[in-house]
Every structure is written in C-alpha cells, then in structure tokens.
Amino acid sequence: ILLAFGIFVFPLLYVPLTSDPFNFPKEYLLYSLVLITAGLFLIPIFFHAELSWRRTIFDIPFLILTVSFIISTLLSKDRSISFLGRPETFLQQASIFLAWILWFFALAQTVTTPKIWRIMRGVVIASGQIVSLLFILKGLTFLPSYLRIGNYVSATNSHLGIFVAIMLILQVGLTLTRQKIGYHLWYGLGSLMSLVVLFQLGFTISWILAAVGLGLLIALALLRLTSVPLGAFFSCLILFIVSILVIIFGSPESWKTELPTEVALGAKASWGVIANSEFSRGQVLIFGRGPATFPYVFAQWRGREFNTTPLAENTYFDNPYNSLFGLVAETGWIGLIVFLG
C-alpha cells in the first residue's frame, strides 16, 4: 500500500509556498517513504533474525553505480551539495539517487506476483491520467487555483511532454492485449487524454518518442497478430501515422496552449563546458566534479560566447542539455559507462 501510494502521488504532489513547488516536496516525500519502507522491511528481520532477498539482474549494476556515486561525492569540490543538493532547484545529488535505488529495491522485493504487478501498473496509469486531465482542464477559470497549475510533473513542460508520451505508449500497448472491455475503455480514454496533451504542448521530441514507441508496438503486434484485437491494432497504426505527420508538419497552432518560454543550455554549449572541465585533470575525467556540481562547472568553464553581452554574462544554468551530459560532468566517464551498462 505504501509503495502504491508513493507511485501514485509522485507525479501529482504540489505544495504551495515552497521555493520550488515541483521538486522540493517530491524529494522529501521520497526520503520519507523510503525511510518508512526501510523500517517496515527491517522490523521482521529484527524479530526473526532472517533476511530474505529476491535477486534481480539490476543488483550488481546498481551496486557498481552506487560505489561510483560515492567516490565522486567524496572527491567532490563541495561534498555537502553533492550529497544533499539544494532545495531551491532540482539537482542529481547522491542522496536522491540512493533514495531512488532503495525505492527500486523495495519494489523489486514487493512486486512478486502478477496480481501485485497489475495493481502497481494500474496505479501508475491512474496517476498519469489525472496528470493529463489536470493539464487539459487548466484553462477553466471556475476551478480553484491549485487545480489550474497545469503541469504537475515538473517545473518544465518539456518533461511533461516526455512523461505523457510514455503514458500514451504504455496505455496503447495495453489495449493490444485481450482484456475485459472495461479495461480497454479505461486505457483508451487515457490514451485519448495523453494525445490531447501532446497536441496542446506541440513538442517535437515528445512526438518522436511517441512515434518510436508506437512503431515498436506495431512490430510486436504483427508478430502475434492472431491474438491482438484488430480494432486496437488499427487504432495504434492510425496513432503512429498521426505522430509521423505531426513530426513533419507540426501540431496545429490553434490546438496548442500558451506556454511560458523555457531557456535551457544547448547540446553544443553543454559539451563545450564539459570538455573544458573534464580534460583539465585526469581525476575529473574519470570521476567527474561530483554529483550536483554542474552549477560550479558552468560558472568556471563556460565558453566565451557567454561573455559577449551583459545579459549573457549574468546567465547561469544549473543543469546541462540532458542527464547524460550531467553524468559525464558530475560523475565522470566511469559514472556514464556504468549507468549505460
């Protein structure tokens, strides 16, 4: 129940009057749930003096990645920031990484039967559907202000687009399996809401992700076409064609919702900062500058293009172009290789 609660509320939690309402409370909710879950696991071990552990294929890779993060934290320029991060912004600090690792292992030890797996899957889908519905309804002025935030997933709408695209792929995939009509209607309604949000956002990267996922679903469905509902298969095929058309021609302007401008560090600029930093010392090349230290890396090693105007000189970024760039800068090439492995 505790794990299902956490899975459900992580995308939805919003606490007003915090310095960063989208990441700060989720971070501490995660810490709280992990500590409570760890306590519940330790209680029977304490009384029975017996540890039961269900091994997974991720045990050794996660152990190696954890050791890599610990070494990078110990060698960090600012160990406090590397371990605890900063509450006013989202960083890839060691503490939140370790909490997610523990959360994954708690799920691995708990989700041991198909029934529990279906419950957890249903909770994820329900949470994603509520996220989509709240974004669609954000323009209704008669709703209270805390229901008109729109994006409950992240401080940036691009992250919301990725989340909704994944939810679309998941729900369309479930419609391709033979289930009760009620489940098909539920997944179909959720897929429709995800589709509406993607049109409203209009981000090409989200549609590319959706197209790749839908294409893979079509390929898998063709391998077992006799057991796939034909209506669901043709619906998936139509969605795939629609996603390709939107990638080529873009989402209709009249369907898009007005979004705030997002400023992010580009791929070329991110690599320039990382290359200047990484090749300055051999130790940094291997273990990075330490988790959550990209703000320091950017401030010290940013390129000359950021010194051309007063506006550029006063521009700072807490995160690079994507998480892979962040891993290279903060945990070195060892961290990136282990993560990808």
Higher-pLDDT residue of 17 and 229 is: 229
Question: Measured between alpha carbons, how far is 141 from 233 in angstroms, rounded to an integer?
Answer: 38
Computed over every residue of the chain, the mean pLDDT equals 79
Pairwise CA distance, residues 11 & 131, whole Å: 7
Q: For residue range 5-36, what is the model confidence (pLDDT) as tens digits? A: 777 777 766 554 444 555 556 677 778 888 88
Percent of the chain past pLDDT 90, that is, above it, reads 15
CB 213 within 8 A of CB 169: yes
CA–CA separation, 280 and 307 (whole Å): 21
**91-141: per-residue pLDDT in tens?**
678 888 888 888 888 888 888 888 888 888 888 889 889 888 888 888 776
How far apart, in whole angstroms, are the C-alpha atoms of residue 232 and residue 304? 53
* Cα angle, residue 167 at apex, residues 320 and 186 outer, rounded to 5°: 165
Structure confidence at residue 17 (pLDDT) = 43
Q: Is the pLDDT of residue 142 over 90?
A: no
- pLDDT higher than 50, residue 178: yes
Over 90: is that where the pLDDT of 242 sits? yes
Instruction: Give me the pLDDT at residue 219, please.
Output: 92
Q: What are the angstrom distances between the C-alpha of 203 and each of 33, 43, 147, 165, 259?
A: 33, 47, 23, 10, 11
328: pLDDT strictly greater than 60? yes
| pLDDT at residue 236 greater than cutoff 60 | yes
| Residue 30 to residue 16: CA distance in whole angstroms | 18
- Output the pLDDT for position 25: 60
Under the phi-then-psi rule, with left for phi > 0, alpha for psi from -120 to 50, and beta for the rest, what region is 14?
beta
Which amino acid appears at position 36 of this protein?
I
Higher pLDDT among residues 283 and 327, named by residue: 327
Mean pLDDT, to the nearest integer, of 71-79?
Answer: 83
Return the sign of the alpha-carbon dihedral for residues 201, 207, 209, 210.
positive
Give mean pLDDT, residues 178-199: 90
Measured CA to CA, the distance from residue 19 to residue 283 in angstroms comes to 35
Count of positions (residues) in the chain: 341
For every residue of 90-101, DSSP letters joined together read ----HHHHHHHH
- DSSP-derived letter for residue 255 is G
User: And the tokens for 279?
Assistant: 């090749």
Does the predicted model carry a pTM greater than 0.75? yes
Closest by CA to 168, choosing from 112, 256, 236, is 236
